[in-house]
Structure 1
Amino acid sequence: MANEEAALGPAVAADAPETYPSAAYGWFVVFVLTVAYVFSFLDRQILSLLVEPMKRDLHLSDTQISLLQGLAFALCNVLVGLPLGRLVDSHRRTWLVAGGIAFWSLATAACGLVRGYGALLVLRMGVGAGEAVLTPAANSLIGDHFPPHKVGLPLAVYSIGIYIGGGLALVIGATIIAGTLQSGPMLLPLIGEIRPWQTVFLIIGLPGLLVALVALCLREPRRTGAVHSVIAADGSEVAAALPLRDVLAYLRENKRAFLAINLFMGFSAVAGYGVAAWIPSMFIRRYGWSAVEIGHIYGLLLLTFGTAGVLCGGWLGDVMTRRHGAAGRLRAALWVKLVTIPLIFAYTLSPDGTLALLPLAGAVFLPTFLNGLSPAIIQQMVPNQMRGTAISIALLVINLLGLGLGPTLIALMTDRVFHDPAMIHLAILTVSVAMLLLSLTCLLIGYRPYVALVDRLQRRAAVPAAG
């Protein structure tokens, strides 16, 4: 306990009244960040619709495709995620956001110009590197535009960018594919002929540069909470980062809660990213649907049920927190997990694609509750000046496990276990259920330590007001 007190230091011992930007401008910032998040998942998810033509043209296996979908992102997150999280806690976040958007947008567009697998892998890693800064910076920025009792809804709105972006990637991607298949290969000056799937990358990637320009014009808000600040060379106020040794001391003191909760989210992400990567291929291989058909339908499911699930998760978390205190959001996550299990069996084992859509819609809706619950779960565990670092750690685990293992585990099941790409539905079922059980185990392990940690932080924050 002494180490924890030292890690928190005097910065958490006082809670002076804070001033925030206007609500209207705060929501404008949320809108811009959400649009950026939409573009990040648009650029990331589009590849799931292009699996079959890329395999054909580049002579790739399912495992090689899965590395493009997942591990390339995860490796970059490990390399740059935590350093960027530290920068978020001490540097101008709006500039970091704009730079990240521009970087991943250019990398996505460049995927449309490659001729071989190696270059494509490197560029997909570049997309992951650019995206690594967005969510830590966005969560930190949103937290400084709204007071604590009003920040839940803005965070949930930002989180729906995952499903708007993933859904639009499929809907827009399917529409573009339909058009490019009719027009055939394109001839570009100095580059030569590019195939229809390459055209999709160009069309999806380049508009992100406009979003980067808008983000660059956002005002950097004053850091709220008890954070030491300094004046930068341009006259703006920036935070003085909490020493790394204090951050590490705090994490060590509460390692059981942090490890269990992050693994809970990580194993949940394995199933989530794996399913998102391979559902289009399951409908194409098992039910004979076209990429355009499943792209439109699955994209609409993500847009509607995914978005609704995130918002409902944020609402349910607030309700459960009012009723059960610090344990509320964890209880909500537990019940969501349990109810999802029969839906997984139903959509993967359905003999008909149309019949599979109803349980698939439920299996999109319920798990996305976690995206409405997770940001608040993480933020409750740390003081303000560790917010960017804590979110970066969570994203590192989520991306390393979810992106790194999710698509690849399913691909390995089809390539190495079933030895038949047509068995993709059994691979999805096996990996989804196994990861769900692992995540539940971690949630139960971390339940009591998490509740105790949050209660301590809340009591400490209440002390100045009582005095």
Structure 2
Amino acid sequence: MTSPASSDHTAAPAPNLKRAWFAVAVLTLANISGFLDRQILSLLVQPLRRDFGLTDTDVSLLMGLSFTIFYSLLGLPIGRWVDRGSRPKIIAIGAAVWSVLTVLTGSARSYAQLFAARVGVGVGEATIGPAAVSLIADQFPHRRLATAMSVYQMGSFAGAGIAYALGAFVVGRLDVPGRLTLPWGTEIFPWQTVFFWVGLPGLLVALVALLIREPRGESASAQSREVEVPLRDVVRYMRANARAIGALSFGFAFSLSVNFGVGAWLATFLVRTHGWTIERAGLLQGVLTFVVGPLGVLLGGRLTDRWARSGQVDAPLRVGMVAAGGMLVSAGLYPLVPSVALVVPLLVAVNVFAALPWGAASAAVAEVMPPRMRGQGSAVYQLIVNLVAGVLGPTAVAVLTDRVFADPLAIRYSLSILAVVGMTLVLALLGWARPAFIRTVTMLREQAGD
């Protein structure tokens, strides 16, 4: 392992807790907005297939590949920007971009236009992860970091839950024959108006983000340029700590793959396998994600901080492994049981374990990177996690259903296979990462005098 860049000792002291928690609150709102815009498609599979003539695989590419490629790749230059620029301004710009592109999705008239708009949403949302991890980590000590990260990550579950419920409402009320004509003459399907509803509030989030105080100080950009870590030093550090950084990144990537697969196809599974209406399925998914998800992620953060205070340096990875074990059982079983009376309680467990590791995961990324590399480190983590999860999760279920089983009703088996295989890989990778993670984090804490 190599030492972090010599400039890391210049990291600013933590601001007061009121400012720190205000920043977390605004970042949580931004996360809600982003995930609402991202997840709304999962409840629109039926009208998308019918009105745009798409297959399950086509829809999965809208939910995964179109968003993920640019979201992940642009995170790298954005991470470098985060390490030397004003993070509140970066978040505000990103929120404005993803909100405008979500609105434009509502006026799309072809698959190509839908795909292009989703690419734009991914471009905007590429800002939030690196900036949020860096900003929160600068303001909380490591023994409280996972709880703060968990509150921020609650936004992803709240946003997804709202998306599922709102999508179900739209399909139930607005999926009707005919077209609507927009003021500028474009004709759209009535259900497409949901993109206006979820996109426009994000512009308010962009304005509120500007109220966050940059803890680096008023001259943040000038200070950061003076102590900017050369890219070669970042690469050298990551190569020297590849086992810790790489294994935890791929471990959490496979965990998120299962989450994305479940999130994208749960409502369709309930419709095809148990005969539910899309409105009923979406309502259940929305309630579970909105209510149980935030409780699960907060529980994971508190558990991580409790273990960290007891001296467990690898506490974030331990929580990730607990979550993976719970998901392997609950997400592997719920698609296969014969009765909805059994499916629903298993889905409660799925939502707890699916949410449990994400505050811990963000804390792990922040702790394994020196302060002046956190934006770039979280961008690399984001690249790995979202490329793997965004492409593999929804698409693996669709490809298994379309190509392997060639039967829409076999979606239950596709979901179960994804959960069992994915979570087995998570357990193996996080277990392998633990010794290297302990060495790297211990080294960084010793150099910081902690």
Normalised by the shorter chain, which TM-score bucket? Answer: over 0.9
Aligned to 2:31: 37
Structure 2 CA distance for partners of 1:449 and 1:146, relative to 1, 3 Å: closer
Is there any run of 5+ residues in structure 2 with no aligned partner, and where?
A: none
- From 73, 76, 79, the equivalent of 1:82 is 76
1:260 has 2:254 as partner: no
Aligned to 2:321: 334
Deviation at 1:196, TM superposition (A): 2.5
Aligned to 1:62: 56
Aligned to 2:268: 281
CA distance in 1, matches of 2:173, 2:207: 29
Report if aligned partners of 1:73, 1:404 keep a CA contact under 8 Å in 2: no
Aligned to 2:369: 382
DSSP 3-state at the match of 2:310: helix
Structure 2 CA distance for partners of 1:143 and 1:452, relative to 1, 3 Å: closer
For residues 408-439 of structure 1, the C-alpha deviation after alignment (integer angstroms, 9 at most, x for no partner) is 11100011001011111110111111111112
Aligned to 1:301: 288
For residues 258-312 of structure 1, the C-alpha deviation after alignment (integer angstroms, 9 at most, x for no partner) is 1111110111111111111111110111111112111111111011111111000
Aligned to 1:362: 349
Alignment root-mean-square deviation, CA = 2.1
Percent identical pairs in the alignment equals 38
Structure 2 CA distance for partners of 1:29 and 1:424, relative to 1, 3 Å: same
82-91 vs 255-264, greater mean Cα deviation: 255-264
For residues 85-123 of structure 1, the C-alpha deviation after alignment (integer angstroms, 9 at most, x for no partner) is 000001111111111111111111111111110111111
Q: How does 1:426-437 map to 2 (within 5 A)?
A: 426-437=413-424
Report if aligned partners of 2:91, 2:127 keep a CA contact under 8 Å in 1: yes
Report if aligned partners of 1:345, 1:429 keep a CA contact under 8 Å in 2: yes
Aligned to 1:395: 382
Partner amino acid for 1:199? T
Deviation at 1:183, TM superposition (A): 9.1
249-258 vs 144-153, greater mean Cα deviation: 144-153
Aligned to 1:121: 115
Partner amino acid for 1:390? G
Structure 2 CA distance for partners of 1:259 and 1:34, relative to 1, 3 Å: same
CA distance in 2, matches of 1:179, 1:166: 20
CA distance in 2, matches of 1:207, 1:414: 36
- From 295, 301, 304, the equivalent of 1:317 is 304
DSSP 3-state at the match of 1:257: helix
CA distance in 1, matches of 2:213, 2:308: 33
Aligned to 1:168: 162
Report if aligned partners of 1:177, 1:200 keep a CA contact under 8 Å in 2: no
TM-score, normalization: structure 2?
A: 0.94
Deviation at 1:19, TM superposition (A): 4.2
Structure 2 CA distance for partners of 1:332 and 1:94, relative to 1, 3 Å: closer
Partner amino acid for 1:180? L
Report if aligned partners of 2:335, 2:413 keep a CA contact under 8 Å in 1: yes
CA distance in 2, matches of 1:112, 1:150: 41
Q: How does 1:125-204 map to 2 (within 5 A)?
A: 125-181=119-175, 185-204=179-198
393-402 vs 210-219, greater mean Cα deviation: 210-219
Report if aligned partners of 2:5, 2:229 keep a CA contact under 8 Å in 1: no
CA distance in 1, matches of 2:77, 2:10: 28
CA distance in 2, matches of 1:221, 1:296: 40
Between the two proteins, the alignment pairs up a number of residues equal to: 450
Aligned to 2:445: 458
301-310 vs 317-326, greater mean Cα deviation: 317-326
TM-score, normalization: structure 1?
A: 0.91
